[in-house]
Structures are given as structure tokens and as C-alpha cells.
Structure 1
């Protein structure tokens, strides 16, 4: 089939079709969906291209040769020294927004794209990548022999094999000048050392979080924001270090995702120090459901007793009544009961999860005696019916005897 003459088509296995332009190969980390891919003239709006290398390292380059680049193309880009091999992950207007997000200090950080990778380039690339694991193991032993308090977590060779980047983790400042000399003499390449944190290391290694999904730092997060225990307190999460820590042994990044919503919703709740006064007695705040807007009060300050759950609006109304010197009959009200009745209820709360797990064999064994009894009854009735004489046969016999 001649796809060039077709106006719209979906190319199987690639992202050059109408519906697949915004999607890239999902085996690459930090994949970005290009939601401007189908906009006419988007690819020609800028010559900037986003290129991704090993794991989470990305770079931005100028397409000075006006190559027809699409998401997923393997290209040779300018490096210092030589060239590097990467995969195009983004083109068009969205690249400019990504550059602002990356906070590039100067325009010199944006280099050029040489060409689409040739078979010779790919052969050098595979040869360089095959040495990475052995280089990492040997470099760890060298750092240990030099008594350096650091951990080399990953090694990345440049596409042409002339340079190697060593990613390391260290709690304190490390003087690795002697290490660079030993590594250069051992591997005969140009050495570059990059210090990363525990979160960056987890993003480069990858994995699955306790939520069952792939790690955020390995899929879409590039800039890491500091996480504090205050985010857990705002969301009323138990301060259990084992549950709050992620795969990197640091506080989970997802603690910051909803904290702004919790802070905004908590402003509509009554203060914990305020005591509600009713004709029944005084009530103290026991717990609160921030997003649902419900608060639970107890008649005892230290022990949960006579718990009453009301809406935040009702609690604020009672506080206003107490300020005016008025005391309601109770915490509940007719309007509040109606509000609670409108709250969605779980219809399957009292149902068993194994109610459909009964085997069919047991059902047959239970019904088999009844079926056998019914079959015997039908057989007996048919036998009795066969023994019965036809209608009018008795009268005919009496007439023959007479």
C-alpha cells in the first residue's frame, strides 16, 4: 500500500501516524506526551529538539541542518569532545516550554544535531554501552582502595566512547582528584564526575513504588522539590518512617501532590482548640475528615466518648451561637440530618467478598437428591398410570358377565 498518497494513516510500531504523533516509545524514562503534535506547523515553529540519553539525562539541541526529525528517531549530537547518541523525545513548540522548566543558564548549553545516526555510529554506541557495567564495578573497587567515602551508582559512556560520566553519591564533600587520575589511566577515556542525590539515583535505577505504579522520578519527574514532614501533618498521615519513606529511603515525593488541597480545605474547618457548648454539655474536637468537610466531637477531652459527627458548617454555626451567648439543644439538627442522608452510602458494605466463589459442584450435589426424588416420583406416576385401565373398560366387563 502506498502510504505517501494517503491523507491519514496510522503507521504500526512508530509514531509517524495521525493518532500516534504525541506518543513515544514507552521504554524510555521521563517520556513526555506531545499534545501539540497534531497542530499544523508545530514542527516548523522552532528548530529546538529535546534528546534523551541514558535513563533520566536529557539535552536540548538546535536542528541546524533542518532534518525531518520525529519522536523516536536516533540522532548523533554535538558533545565535548566528539559526538553523542540519543533519542528524540520532543519536537516543536513544547520544547521551548521544557527549556524554561529546565532553567538553562546560558544559550551555550544548547548545542547542534549533526545527523541521524548511521550504522557505524550505532556500532560504536553499542560497543561503548557494553563496557558500562564492568567499568562501574571496577571503579567502585578503585574508590574503595583510595578510602573515599562515596558510592559510584552508575556509569554512562558517550556515544563515541571517548568520554565516561561517573554518577556518585556522597554525604560529605569528596576530594576525587586522585580518583580521576586513576580512572583515566585505567579506562583511557575522558572522565566526568557528577554528584547526584538519593532521589536522582532511584530515578536512574527505576522500580515500582508501594502504590503499584512505576516510580514518579523514573517516569515524569525531573525537578525535585524538598519534602518535609509538615506535608504529612497537614494531611493527618501517621508519622511512620517506614510508610512515609520511598524506594530512595527519603520522604515520598507524592506527599506534596495534594498538600495544597488539604491546606485550602482545612481553612474551612473549625479550630481544634475551640470547644462547642450545648445544653447537653461541652464537646471537644476528636478528629476531622478534611476533604469531606466532616468533624467528629467527643464529650470527653482525652477519651473518645459520645462521639458526634457533624458538618464543618454546622460546627461554625454553633461557634457563632456560643459567641452570642446561645447554646443549641444538641450538635445535630434537622438540616444536618438531611445533609448526612445525602452522603453516598456503600451498598456493598455488609456483603461478603467471597459470595460468588461457591463451586458449581456443591450446587449440583445439593440439588441432586431433589432431582432424583422428582424423577422417581414421575416414574412411579407413569407406572401407576400404565396399570390403570382405560376409561369405560370396567363397564364393558360387567356387561360381558351379564
Structure 2
């Protein structure tokens, strides 16, 4: 594995980190790119942001830069806002520190500012995140031997794993996310410590849990993270006791294994929290588990729509999937892509023959145009008004029935549609 280099940063991030480092150096301070950006460079990936560490105190950082935000100042972090060639780049600059005792499984009660990289590295969660890179010199520091762990595909904590997890319960979910992101295997010690300290997750807010789940879904191997969470008992602590029996839990895991990441958040949550669609539709208990994560209304509606679409598709297949209009109405649902993916994963995991029907429906969808799914109406409101039909629920019924015939290919012209309407309304409905 090659040593990370600042030369492999994007031009914008390289310029921003160098500008900050030059300002800090001129004031007599150290400046290092730290953590995820250095880890990604070591893996040959392109960082999307950079964080920096320095021996400058927070007040000094604020004084040195004209535009800053101090939302994390109590823990030594100042956000420096950079304007480079018309682009805005925000960089979190954190003072070297060591952490005191954690009272809430989230934040240290006190922090002590330090002067060295080695001291700062000892407080970090995983060795792969304790990497430092000089923006001006390209000097690389690896005080916890994180580069060797990355090369070996090994996920190791800095110091005692149980202590790290006990300090901040969110690190337990980060363990699963990094395992999936880095395709790394935690050591036996780390896995044992995660299982032993899983109660620390109870102190983590629903919003932070949801954010980590989002990060897990965004990896290429979400199934790997889920397997780790199940094996250590972390998933039950994070989401509450599941309704799954052992067979259903295994089927759900296999369903995730059929899908390559990254997964959209709505799809990931629908698959993680929802019922096995062949057995039942979503119940209030499933909705409660979703609500417990305090997702946005839009995301909650998306997940509920996926569950409903899954149930509708199963019902359609159980009926033989011969209704063309019903098929096309399912295909035009906003939830169709996610429901198709989730249901396909369930069918594959359960080795159910409905998978062939779903694949056939998807193949058909690829041949249809938007006008095939949403054909121009052959019966309009003007037609109903001209037929002296009072506006009300009957209009909706007539529109629906006319469209059904149109989607089935039984009504293809205005003349035929008007003839149908005359016959239908003349029947006295």
C-alpha cells in the first residue's frame, strides 16, 4: 500500500488545506490533515472533505481566520470558511487534545489541549482514523500503525476497545460502517468488546443512529455491516427488539446480501425495518420502529410507500399478474424502483418463484414509454359535464374505469371512449 500524499487530493481541497496550513505555520503552529481524508488517500480513494488538527488553541484559530464558525468550540473545533476561486470550502480545524471521562456515552466531560500528534492520536476511535498528513510538506505520521491495519484489512481500536466504545456508544455503529466501507474485519478483541459494551448505544440519540445507518447504506457492502450488528447484538439495542424469528432474520440478511451498495436510505430502511412481504404487510409495529428513528416526514412517507408498493406487488402476483392495467399502475408508482429492488431481494433470499414474475414485469417496464404508462385521457371532465353527470365521486370512478380500459388496450380512440361513456352513463349508474 502506497503512503498517502497530498498530491492526490482534489485541487480545491489541496488548496484549502495548504492555505490554512500556511496561515497557521506563519503564526508558529503545526497543521495536519487528519482522519478520514488521509485514510481514503491511503486506500486510493478520493476524499470529499478534509479535517485538520493543530496545536493552535481555538481562540487563536478564530483570530487567525476572518470567517469561522465555532459550533464545536467547547471540544476544540473551529470551522474555517475558505473562499477559493469563487468556491466555498469549509474545513474543521481541531486543536490537539486528550479527552477526560465521558459522562453520557457521547461527549467527554472535559478536554485537555495538547501539543503533539501522538497525544491527539491516542483519543481517536480506530487506528485507521489516526493518520496525519502535512499539507505543505507531505510528511506522513502514523503513530498508531493504522496504515498496516488498513493494508491487512483489519479494523483495530486505538488503545482498549472496550474503553473506546464505552466513551461514545456511537463508535459501535461506526465500527460496522467502517467495516463495510473499508471491507475490513474487526479483530476478535474488538468484536468481543463491542458485544460487551453494547449498552452504551442506549445513550445515543435516534438522530445519530439514523445518520450512521444512512452511512452504512451508502457503503458498497451494507450486508457486511448488518451481519456485524446482528452478531454483536448491537442492532437490537439500536432499533429495539425485532419481530424476526431466526429464519426471518437469516432471510433478511440474505436479502441484503443480494443487493450491492450504495443503497438509497429509503430502500435500506424499508428492507431493514419492514416485514417479509410474502408473510405480511407492514403493521403499526413496523411503523413504530420507523418513527423511533425520528426520520424526516419525507423519508418516513417514502419508506411507507415502499412497504405499500411491496404489498400491492405481492397481491398482484398472487392474483396471477394478468391484469395489464394493474401492472402499469404499479410500474408508475414513485416507489416502484425501490419496491422492485427490495422485493426482488426478498424473493431471491427466499428462493421464491415470484422473482421470475417480478423480473418479467421489470423487463416489460424497460420497453414502455411514459405515454404508455400515462396515456392522454380519452375521457375528460368536459365529457362528463356534457353528459350532465354531477361532479362527485362518480367522476373518479368513471375516470378510473376509462383509464383501465385504455391501459388494457380496450379503448384506443376518442370515438370509442365516448361511445363507452354514453353506454355506461345510459345504464343509469
TM over 0.5: same fold? no
Greater relative CO (CA pairs within 8 A, separation 6+): 2
TM-score normalized by structure 1?
0.27
Greater strand content: 1
TM-score normalized by structure 2?
0.26
